Amino acid sequence: MRTASAHSDERDTSQAARAAYAAAVEALGGPPDWLFVQSTEAHAGEAVRRALVELGAPAAHGSSSCMAVLTEAGVHAGGLALLAVRDPEGAFGVGAADLGADPRAAAEQAVMAAIDDAGRPGEVPMLVWITAAPGHEEACLAGIEAVLGPDVPIVGGSAADDAIAGRWYQWTREGTHSQAVVVSVLYPSGRVASAFQSGYTPTTRSGKVTRADERAILEIDGAPAAEVYNAWTGGAIAAARGGGNVLAESTLQPLGRRVGGIGELASYRLAHPAVVRPDGAIELFASFEVGDEVVLMHGTHEALASRAERVAADALAFAGVPQEAVAGALVVFCAGCMLALRSQLDAIAAGLRAALGGAPFVGCFTFGEQGCFVGGENRHGNLMISVTALVRA
Per-residue pLDDT, averaged over 344-364, amounts to: 97
Give yes or no: residues 317 and 378 share one domain. yes
Q: What is the pLDDT of residue 241?
A: 84
Q: Which of 254, 273, 298 is the last residue of a domain?
A: 298
Q: Name the domain boundary from 256, 282, 298.
A: 298
pLDDT in tens, 127-165: 999 999 999 999 999 999 999 999 999 999 999 999 999
pLDDT given for residue 375 in this prediction: 78
Contacts of 206 (CB under 8 A, 6+ apart): 293, 294, 295, 296
Q: How many domains does the chain have?
A: 2
110 Cα distance to chain centroid: 18
Provide the pLDDT for residue 376: 82
Domain boundary (298, 331, 354) is at 298
Report, as an integer, the average pLDDT of 191-195.
Answer: 97
pLDDT at 207 over 70: yes
What pLDDT, in 10s, does the model give residues 225-270?
999 999 999 999 999 988 999 999 999 999 999 997 666 678 999 9
The dihedrals phi and psi of 272, each to the nearest 5 degrees, come to: -95, 110
Among the listed residues 42, 37, 33, the one whose alpha carbon sits nearest the alpha carbon of residue 3: 33
Q: Are 287 and 325 in the same domain?
A: no
Q: Which domain holds residue 217?
A: 201-298
Q: How far apart are CA 178 and CA 159, in angstroms?
A: 9
Residues 241, 282 within the same domain: yes
Q: Integer distance in angstroms from the first to the last C-alpha of the chain?
A: 8
Looking at the DSSP bridge assignments, the partners of residue 156 are 130, 370
pLDDT given for residue 148 in this prediction: 98
Crossing angle between the packed helical segments 13-28 and 45-54, to the nearest 10 degrees: 40
On whether the CB atoms of residues 289 and 214 are closer than 8 A, the answer is no
Q: What is the pLDDT of residues 260-318, one digit of tens each?
A: 766 667 899 999 999 999 999 999 999 999 999 999 999 999 999 999 999 999 999 99
Could you tell me if 237 and 318 lie in one domain?
no
Torsion, Cα 97 136 182 391, to 10 degrees, reads -150
